[in-house]
Amino acid sequence: MLKKLLFLPIAIICLLSFTVSRVEPPCTCQHSGAFLTVAPQSRLVALVKIKEHYLYTDENDRPVPMSMEVELIDVYKGKEDRDHIIVWGNAGNMCRPDISVFRKENYYVMAFEATGGNPIYDEPNNDYAISICGHHWLTVEDFDAQQANGQVTDERNAMALSELKVALAP
């Protein structure tokens, strides 16, 4: 009888420890500021066009893009020889945006960081990511207007693309 009484609490503890060990911690980061505060520290800053979403996973029975292909329209900071790059998004706790917020065929100005070649998610070393710990992208809602929108600085929510390029020049 004593063995049966001890088995139940031990089984519950084992089950709870297994469940708890599988839960990933949430993303924790400090907000690092407006676009022109974070962009100078970024590896690559570019005007891009979203071409395709890739690597869907099943999350709550719906397809979710984990990465996207972007076309580099104009590089404002950094160096990249390719015309198209892969950008990785959030996998649950990575302090990255959900890729689905970026609409195909739309334009953005993005401040990229290296992925670091994350082997858990098969991210190659030469791919990129975007952080959510600050304003790391701006939208270009009307490409013909040549204006980026979003928190450019603490005082400005829009700026001409030509001004952004000058502000990020070495």
pLDDT along the chain (170 residues), means of 10: 49 42 61 93 96 78 84 97 93 82 96 77 82 94 96 96 94
Question: Can you give the pLDDT at residue 1?
Answer: 52
Q: Where do the DSSP E strands lie in 60-131? A: 62-77, 84-88, 107-114, 128-129
Cα gap 167→66, rounded to integer Å: 31
Q: Is residue 127 within 8 Å of 82, Cβ to Cβ?
A: no
pTM of the full predicted structure? 0.79
pLDDT confidence of residue 39: 96
Q: Which amino acid is at 122?
A: D
Confidence (pLDDT) at 153? 96
CB 112 within 8 A of CB 44: yes
Q: What is the pLDDT of residue 123?
A: 77
pLDDT at res. 147: 97
Token pair 């009307």: residue? 142
What's residue 16's pLDDT? 42
Outline where DSSP puts E strands in the chain.
44-59, 62-77, 84-88, 107-114, 128-129, 137-140, 147-149, 158-160
- Identify the helix (H) or strand (E) that includes residue 99: none
pLDDT of residue 105: 97
- Asked whether 136 and 100 are in contact (CB, 8 A), the reply is no
